């Protein structure tokens, strides 16, 4: 949905393409990011879940068939996506321009035959690999297609499914390339190939992951490569927290929310919004370190039904977020 306060940009030309004036605009902005949708990328198959697992997922849906996302899920998922958005933008700003250019040149050299794209229509029905460059964010994306022009235009006008905006968790999910728009793409390089997976795979393997938006490994998809996803730390400034301290903080917060009586719930929400939201790095006795903040604990209370949709909506408003809902 278009923001009424945002000027409606008419069509313009970019890399040889005449752009129309879509509601999502030609530049990515936070106000139009993570618009909630009740539909999902793929409906879960009941036969693939045990009774316990199916019940554990029930909070995400407003129907027994798990076809439509619930209000609680829309709020929690959008909050995660916007927090990841903010972490990503700060991360992009922290990157060094010279190092970015060097990393891009290395990728193009490894791809061997990448050339600058001066006019995208010239790549209509052309099979090959491509590199989209987003100079404002010091990022690039490597892809392949049997029609380079069509695929790049799909990136420009498409959007990541709402339930796929986060790949991993808030702190390590790579920003989705399909949320960047046409004018965010400042340069394109492409290489003709009857086996486009090959240059894509070479280039992706050579990529410095600090500057690459690919969530998946390059090359032809196999069951193994589909499991090999990328993540990044975003250079998040975090405070150390022992696992025992984390457990005390997490459980204390959960108990406070669950045990506050109805007569004090409005005061509770104000107290939650006023809490220290420091991001902590937690090191368990076994397993990999992870990040956590009290905001994660508050969202967790929503998934358990200990904090209502109305209460979490109030909390988000106090945190400065504008809550929006789909029309249905």
Each residue's pLDDT expressed in tens, for the chain with a length of 328 residues: 334 444 445 568 999 999 876 556 789 999 999 999 999 888 899 999 999 999 999 999 999 999 999 999 999 999 999 999 999 999 999 999 999 999 999 999 987 789 999 999 999 999 999 999 999 999 999 999 999 999 999 999 988 999 999 999 999 999 999 999 999 999 999 999 999 999 999 999 999 999 999 998 877 766 655 556 788 888 888 999 999 999 999 999 999 999 999 999 999 999 999 999 999 999 998 889 999 999 999 999 999 999 999 999 999 999 999 999 998 6
Domain C-terminal end among 185, 218, 233: 233
**Do both 90 and 11 map to the same domain?**
yes
Choose one of 233, 268, 292: the last residue of a domain.
233
Sheet holding 115-116, edge to edge: 115-116, 187-192, 128-134, 139-145
* Cβ proximity of 132 and 151 under 8 Å: no
End-to-end CA distance of the chain: 13
Q: Does 328 share its domain with 203?
A: no
Looking at the fold, whether 313 and 183 belong to one and the same domain comes out as no
Helix (H), strand (E), coil (C) string for the chain: CCCCCCCCCCCEEECCEEECCCCCCCCCCHHHCCCCCCCCCCCCCHHHCCHHHHHHCHHHECCCCCCCECHHHHHHHHHHHHHHHHHHHHHHHHCCHHHHHHHHHHHHHHHCCCEECCCHHHHCCCCEEEEEEEHHHCEEEEEEECCHHHHHHHHHHCCCCHHHCCCCCCCCCCCCHHHCCHHHCCEEEEEECCCCHHHHHHHHHHCCCCCECCCECCCCCCCCHHHCECCCCCCCCCEEEEHHHHHHHHHHHHHHHHHCCHHHHHHHHHHHHCCCCCCEEEECCCCCCEEECHHHHHHHHHHCCCCCHHHHHHHHHHCCCCCCCCCC
Q: Count up the domains in the chain and report the number.
A: 2
Range of the domain at 101: 1-233
Same domain membership, residue 160 and residue 43:
yes
In angstroms, the Cα distances linking 35 to 3, 81, 121, 309, 318 are 12, 10, 31, 17, 20
195 and 87: one domain? yes
Are residues 166 and 86 located together in one domain of the fold? yes
Residues 40 and 143 in one domain: yes
Is the domain of 281 the same as that of 180? no
Q: Pick from 204, 233, 262: which residue ends a domain? A: 233
98 and 135 share a domain? Answer: yes
| pLDDT attached to residue 25 | 76
Residues 205 and 257 in one domain: no
Q: Taken in order 42, 44, 45, 48, is the CA torsion positive or negative?
A: positive
Is residue 71 domain-shared with residue 189, that is, in the same domain? yes
Q: 113 with 205, same domain?
A: yes
Q: Which two tokens stand for residue 122?
A: 């010239």
């Amino acid at each position: 949905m278009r923001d009424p306060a945002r000027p409606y940009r008419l069509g313009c030309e970019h890399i040889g393409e005449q752009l129309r004036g879509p509601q999502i605009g030609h530049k990515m902005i936070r106000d139009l990011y993570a618009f909630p949708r009740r539909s999902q990328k793929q409906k879960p198959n009941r036969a693939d879940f045990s009774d316990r697992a199916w019940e554990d997922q029930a909070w995400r849906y407003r129907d027994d068939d798990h076809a439509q996302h619930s209000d609680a899920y829309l709020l929690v998922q959008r909050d995660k996506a916007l927090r990841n958005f903010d972490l990503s933008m700060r991360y992009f700003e922290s990157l060094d321009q010279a190092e970015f250019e060097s990393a891009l040149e290395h990728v193009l050299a490894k791809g061997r035959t990448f050339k600058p794209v001066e006019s995208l229509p010239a790549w209509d029905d052309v099979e090959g690999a491509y590199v989209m460059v987003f100079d404002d964010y010091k990022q690039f994306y490597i892809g392949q297609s049997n029609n380079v022009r069509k695929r790049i235009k799909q990136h420009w006008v498409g959007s990541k499914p709402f339930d796929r905006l986060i790949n991993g968790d808030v702190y390590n999910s790579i920003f989705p390339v399909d949320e960047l728009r046409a004018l965010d793409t400042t340069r394109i390089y492409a290489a003709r190939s009857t086996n486009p997976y090959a240059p894509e795979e070479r280039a992706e393997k050579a990529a410095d992951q600090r500057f690459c938006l690919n969530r998946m490994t390059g090359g032809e998809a196999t069951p193994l490569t589909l499991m090999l996803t990328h993540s990044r730390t975003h250079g998040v400034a975090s405070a150390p927290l022992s696992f025992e301290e984390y457990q005390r903080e997490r459980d204390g917060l959960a108990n406070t929310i669950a045990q506050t009586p109805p007569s004090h719930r409005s005061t509770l929400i104000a107290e939650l919004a006023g809490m220290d939201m420091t991001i902590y790095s937690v090191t368990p006795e076994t397993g990999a370190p992870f990040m956590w903040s009290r905001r994660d604990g508050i969202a967790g209370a929503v998934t358990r039904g200990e904090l209502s949709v109305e209460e979490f909506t109030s909390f988000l408003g106090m945190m400065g977020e504008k809550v929006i809902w789909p029309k249905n």
